[in-house]
Chains A and B, each alone.
Chain A
Amino acid sequence: MENLFEYSFVLRSLLGALFASITAGLAGTYIVSKRLVFLSGGVTHASFGGIGLGYYLGINPVVGAAVFGLGSAIGMEYMSARGKMREDSAIGILWALGMAVGIIFIYLTPGYAPNLMSYLFGSILTVTDGDLIALGVISAVLIIYTAAFYRTLLYISFDENYARTFTRHVDLFRYISVGLTGLAIVLNIRMAGVIMIIALLTIPANIVMLFTRRYLRIIVLSTVVSFAGISAGFAISWFTNLPTGATIVAVLVLFWLVARGIRTLKKSNRIEKLKKTTI
């Protein structure tokens, strides 16, 4: 019986790591390239309001988070596209409001909310089969969406004004991209945690961008880097009882430091070679 539990736990962890890595690869590359890191932080924290509301109403908090996450992602995109408000201010307000709403609803919920900490810091132990299925579906949708519209999405992200000369659907694609990204982020909250998830979205893509500027390569390689980092983080947190999200962040930052070191070495080697060839 114990073996079975361990087996299903390992399988569950690996599946969770895989899906989180796909989010990190596809959504992360998009977020880092388009400089939407702050926006994704806003979406994550705004969705905490949905978690609180979910608790209060007695429904699955992830459903509440998904609604809040999607709503805030599209809302922020709309506000900044219309130029009616400074984008960073809009994000700041939604960020704080989401957290406030979440805390108020959890306070109002009778009894004790035992899993609250797991939403903030992440834990693979609380991930349900339903969560895994939802993660699998959003990962598949992200892959199909990116593969089908790869060139269009790449060029809209790079130069929206030029893209308008060849497609009339620039705004539609932007909303779909931001919406899917928001959903993917939120569905990963249970595992990575509201506070840590930003690391998954930014660190792997930044590690890979130290070495290549090809968009497709960044997507693929940052998925691989995430998988390695998350798996290592899982393993360490399992054996040491440290919080999963925080351990993953620590591992990813360590990867990043190592990558920076490698790149610095490579650069200085190249300069040495150049010096030798010119002398």
Chain B
Amino acid sequence: MSTLFNIESLTAGYEQKIVLSDVSMAVEENDFIGIIGPNGGGKTTLLKVILGLLKPLSGRVDYSPGDLRLNQIGYMPQVAQGDTLFPVTVEDVVLSGMMHDKGSTGRMGRAEKKRAAEVMDELGLRPLAHQALNELSGGQLQRVYLARAVSGSPRLLLLDEPATFVDASFEADFYEKLKLLNRRMTIMMVSHDVGTISAWVKSFACVSGKVFYHPHSKITQEDLRLYGCPIQLITHGDVPHVVLHKHD
């Protein structure tokens, strides 16, 4: 494995509030990292800094090890953000994932529409191409936003709570799709549901002011305690639910 990019002594935050302080981390190519941590711990902030949407207060993200460029990063924000009553079609939304390589006067021609059709095929969205967003189910909508994030053929895919508004029955299907995509791109995914995603991710990063990288998909309450990651660890299956206590 080779390094895709490095986070070096990063401190980031907003007006008067530091969210991440002195964070360093190397992200390996083709990793599938589950980003976990408490609310306000800096998960979304970390994604925004990597995307170049938020300037670090100090430190930096060094994209040179894997020669990664900002327009090679796909992003799926929290699903609730787009206005589903807005008059756009599924195809239009998927096409917007290819705006990174275009200027403000960018047009969508035959090549882009062909590429959008491929992605829609891959995610089972092709029959919905000309539907409006308000006609879709939660699971379909989620796949539309995933299609937008990957239609520009990114090398790094960032997902922020992709499963928040989706029925559990859609979830496994969605993660299966991500697993396939992981063959050709590195994935970092924010989630609250450590138990569910541990079946799919390759590693964890616990973000709570600091970032602790855990190179396995198996994570225990002891690990979380060591990382100072005050989150609920709910295991599925026969094991009784274990709830971790918040510590100071």
Q: Which residues of A contact B (CB under 8 A)?
A: 29, 33-34, 148-152, 154-155, 157-159, 161-167, 169, 173, 209, 212-215, 218
Contacts and interface: CB of A to CB of B under 8 A. Distances in A.
B127 interface: no
Contacts of A164: 53
B165 to A, nearest CB: 16
Interface of B: 51, 53, 71, 73, 75, 77, 81-83, 86-89, 92-93, 95-96, 99-100, 102, 104-108, 130, 132, 134, 148
Contacts of A173: 104
A165 B87 contact: no
A213 B133 CA distance: 9
A218 B87 CA distance: 9
A165 B75 contact: yes
Given A151-B99, A158-B82, A161-B81, A214 B107 contact: no
Contacts, number: 76
Given A167-B99, A218-B87, A162 B104 contact: no
Could you say which of A33, A165, A166 has the most chain B C-beta atoms within 10 Å of its C-beta? Answer: A165
Nearest to B131: A213
Contacts of A167: 99, 104
Given A154-B88, A158-B92, A209-B87, 13 more contacts: A148-B105, A149-B104, A150-B107, A151-B107, A154-B96, A158-B83, A159-B96, A161-B77, A164-B53, A169-B104, A213-B87, A213-B134, A214-B130
Contacts of B81: 159, 161-162
Contacts of A166: 71, 96, 99-100, 102
Contacts of A33: 86-87
Nearest to A155: B96
14 contacts: A151-B108, A152-B99, A155-B96, A158-B82, A158-B88, A158-B96, A165-B51, A165-B75, A166-B99, A213-B87, A213-B132, A213-B134, A214-B87, A214-B130
Contacts of A161: 77, 81
B88 A152 contact: no
B96 A162 contact: yes
Contacts of A154: 88, 92, 96
B106 A151 contact: yes
A161 B88 CA distance: 16
B37 to A, nearest CB: 21
B89 A214 contact: yes
A212 B87 CA distance: 8
Contacts of B71: 166
A169 B102 CA distance: 13
Contacts of A215: 87-88, 92
Contacts of B108: 151
A237 B82 CA distance: 43
A162 B82 contact: yes
B148 A162 contact: yes
A169 B105 CA distance: 12
A29 B102 CA distance: 25
Nearest to A172: B104
Given A151-B108, A152-B106, A165 B86 contact: no
Contacts of B104: 149, 152, 167, 169, 173
Contacts of B106: 151-152
Nearest to B93: A158
A215 B96 CA distance: 14
A34 B89 CA distance: 16
A132 B102 CA distance: 37
Nearest to B99: A166
Nearest to A149: B104
A169 B134 CA distance: 28
Nearest to A205: B87
B155 to A, nearest CB: 15
Contacts of A158: 82-83, 86, 88, 92-93, 96
Nearest to B83: A158
